[in-house]
Structure 1
Amino acid sequence: MPAPSVSFLTPVYRTESYLPATIESVLAQSDPCWELILVDNGMSDEAVRIVAQYPDARIRLLRQQNNGYAGGVMAASSAASGEFIAVLDSDDLLASDYVASVAAFIRTHPGVDAVGCDAYQFSDGNGESFISGYFRSTALRRGPRRGRRLTVDDVLAGEVPYYSSAIRRTAWNQVGGYAPGMADVDESVVVWLRLTEKYDVRLIPDKLAWYRVRDTSLSRDPAGVDDFERRLLRSFESLGTDPARMPAHTRRAVERNLRRLRFQQAMRRARGALLDDDVHAARIFARTALAQRPCLRGAAVVAALSVAPRAAKAAHPVKQRMTGACTRAARRTKARLRPVGASPRATAVR
């Protein structure tokens, strides 16, 4: 077999019910030049049974005692043979043209060290995808210009590429992968900071994956701002960057990104409190959001909670239905990016 273009690194821990869909989305790749390295991060007999159902020489299973998420990723990367590697969570999905699209970009940019792509989000609860996608959830509001080179300042300002992006294996090893040598950091942020400091990292706007948003997973939800801020500052330190000594434009961008995240956190908390009939708490969270980011949306929520909280609560399911209808319409027009045989609705079982 030829050397794979991309090695997918997939730690598995208590995600056995999602694993078949993830494996099948890799098997559905239109370009067959890949390998999938699964790490049974907890000695699960069920994981072994599932992988045995896919007798493909490109799929390998390693087994170890639970060594944490980063430990699982690093165990997989140590066994990888592809020119590029990509972290793939065991409950996420790939679009069928992931490998083909990355390989095509690399052919036209042979010196590139990493290719960051976009991804659809989908809800764990009802399988609905979100039109905005990954880049819209970061500081990169409109999606990247194809081939744009990413800088350290961009990452410091919150433009962190999607974690299942393709990274040249030699560059990954040089920056230490998900073993940055520091505790309490966001390993993905550290990787991208170190890569953009020394290597050629490019962004493309293609949505080449689907990632699951779970209510219980702070790693997938920017609402976990307290933890995010602490890890972000520690990640800055790993690069030797003192936030107080950043260039003024970078510091402003960082602060703007953190305010946006705090706004999102407070708005989610306001919505949760309202649905729990705690109007007083909902008003406090809404005002907190407005203070972080004065905008029409925040002001409208504050006004609605002050004047007609019951009407605001009643409007929520209507908004959800309208959003779902818009999402389904958008998904029909972008069906080419759906993983073959694995629609978000069919696989949102986590």
Structure 2
Amino acid sequence: MNNPSISVIMPVYNVEQYVPAAVDSVLAQTFTDFELIIVDDGGTDMSVEICASYDDPRIRIISQANRGLAGARNTGILEARGEYIALLDSDDSWDRDKLALHKIHLDNNPQVGVSYSGSRFIDADGTPLRQAQRPKLNNISAKDILTRNPIGNGSAPVIRKTALESIAFLHRDEPRRICFFDETFRQSEDIELWIRMALTGGFRFEGIGGLLTNYRVVSGGLSANIAAQYDSWNRMMKKVENNAPEFFAEVGDEARAYQLRYLARRAVQMGDGAFALALFKDAVSVSSRPLVKEPVKSAVTLLAAAAARYLPTDLVGRLATGWTGGRAFA
């Protein structure tokens, strides 16, 4: 049996509500030379049984004790036989042409290690929202990645396997286990890998046009735990500072301001206006660059935070639904 061109890595952990849409979107790809490696990360619901109900020889299911998202991805990558690695979180889904377009991009640009695209937001029911991630696509620097993370989310990239192998390391507690993502991170594992690749790898990051990923916004998900998310992000920043102190000194404050503004928007999503305003104030106090570079987005964040803080909850909910086009807000 020939090796597939692309290995799709999909960790699964208690996502029975969403995993059918994720699997269906992979099997519906116009490019068909892939394997789908589903990593059962020790969940307790019916997610894996749902995955096992699919009768397709391209699907492999690997079970392990819970390691978190980073650990599940590492397990999948180690099992992968493809030249390219496509990551898909099991609550997201893809446009049917995503793999085909990324393969063309990577085949024709051997210096590109990470190919990515924009993403549309969907709500818990799969309804497309009006908001989308439309990232910078070309001339991506390490600064771009740390401050604005153009890859956007973990279901957007398709990665050259040799690029991952170039930054692999041994697990500190399991010296025979090869890691790509740092398994000490339960959040911020994506940005930690991207910045490590940008600083130490010999491959470029480059995007292609289109919104090819459906990124699900669920208020009860990992991103809703703002305090834990910020703590994890700070640990990532500390790692960057230790490994690249001059780079950190140049861009650290700006990156922190962008992150705090992002978390303010997450707090609005949770309906916590007071917390959102506090986070926005902290962002401005750290660096004014997000205000200067993105004045409209910053102003919208401030207005949304103020509305969530001072307007009645039901009114805020109606305004939020009108703004997003779906039920994205708590």
Q: Same fold (TM over 0.5)?
A: yes
1:133 aligns to what SS in structure 2?
A: strand
- Farther-moved stretch of structure 1 (149-158 vs 163-172): 149-158
**Taking structure 1 as reference, are residues 117 and 74 closer, same or farther at Cα in structure 2, changes over 3 Å only?**
same
Look up the match of 1:320: 320
Look up the match of 1:62: 62
Of residues 195, 206, 209 in structure 2, which corresponds to 1:202?
Answer: 206
Of residues 234, 237, 240 in structure 2, which corresponds to 1:236?
Answer: 240
Amino acid at match of 1:38: I
Identical counterparts, % of pairs: 26
What whole-Å deviation, never above 9, does each CA across 1:118-146 have from its counterpart, x for those lacking one?
Answer: 2112222x5433333234xxxxxxx324x
Q: Distance in 2 between matches of 1:186 and 1:152?
A: 16
Look up the match of 1:174: 166
2:85 aligns to what SS in structure 1?
A: strand
Look up the match of 2:216: 212
Amino acid at match of 2:280: A
**Kept after mapping to 1: 8 A contact 2:12/2:48:** no
Look up the match of 2:21: 21
User: Max radius of gyration: which structure?
Assistant: 1
**Kept after mapping to 2: 8 A contact 1:36/1:58:** yes
**Taking structure 1 as reference, are residues 79 and 284 closer, same or farther at Cα in structure 2, changes over 3 Å only?**
closer
Amino acid at match of 1:123: D
Verify: 1:150 aligned to 2:152, yes or no: no
**Taking structure 1 as reference, are residues 317 and 17 closer, same or farther at Cα in structure 2, changes over 3 Å only?**
closer
1:131 aligns to what SS in structure 2?
A: strand
Look up the match of 2:247: 246
**Taking structure 1 as reference, are residues 235 and 189 closer, same or farther at Cα in structure 2, changes over 3 Å only?**
farther
- Farther-moved stretch of structure 1 (107-116 vs 8-17): 107-116
> Normalization by structure 1: what TM-score?
0.72
Look up the match of 1:85: 85
Verify: 1:32 aligned to 2:24, yes or no: no
Report the CA distance between 1:168 and its aligned residue: 0.8
**Kept after mapping to 1: 8 A contact 2:257/2:283:** yes
Segments of structure 1 that go 5 or more residues without pairing to the other structure are: 136-142, 275-281, 328-344
**Taking structure 1 as reference, are residues 169 and 128 closer, same or farther at Cα in structure 2, changes over 3 Å only?**
same
**Taking structure 1 as reference, are residues 168 and 322 closer, same or farther at Cα in structure 2, changes over 3 Å only?**
same
Amino acid at match of 1:241: A
Verify: 1:292 aligned to 2:283, yes or no: yes
Verify: 1:258 aligned to 2:262, yes or no: no
What whole-Å deviation, never above 9, does each CA across 1:25-44 have from its counterpart, x for those lacking one?
Answer: 10000111111001122276
Report the CA distance between 1:229 and its aligned residue: 3.5
Please give the root-mean-square deviation of Cα atoms over the aligned residues, in Å.
Answer: 3.5
- Farther-moved stretch of structure 1 (39-48 vs 296-305): 296-305
Segments of structure 2 that go 5 or more residues without pairing to the other structure are: 170-178, 285-290, 292-297
Amino acid at match of 1:158: R
- Farther-moved stretch of structure 1 (64-73 vs 53-62): 64-73
Amino acid at match of 1:80: A
Report the CA distance between 1:191 and its aligned residue: 1.9
Amino acid at match of 2:184: A
Q: Distance in 1 between matches of 2:63 and 2:302?
A: 52
Q: Distance in 1 between matches of 2:268 and 2:51?
A: 42
What whole-Å deviation, never above 9, does each CA across 1:141-192 have from its counterpart, x for those lacking one?
Answer: xx324xx142222222232513230111121122128545673473222321
Q: Distance in 1 between matches of 2:234 and 2:49?
A: 39
Structure showing greater relative contact order (alpha-carbon pairs closer than 8 Å, 6 or more residues apart): 1
What whole-Å deviation, never above 9, does each CA across 1:87-129 have from its counterpart, x for those lacking one?
Answer: 21112111101111112212332342221222112222x5433
Look up the match of 1:131: 130
Q: Distance in 1 between matches of 2:275 and 2:57?
A: 56
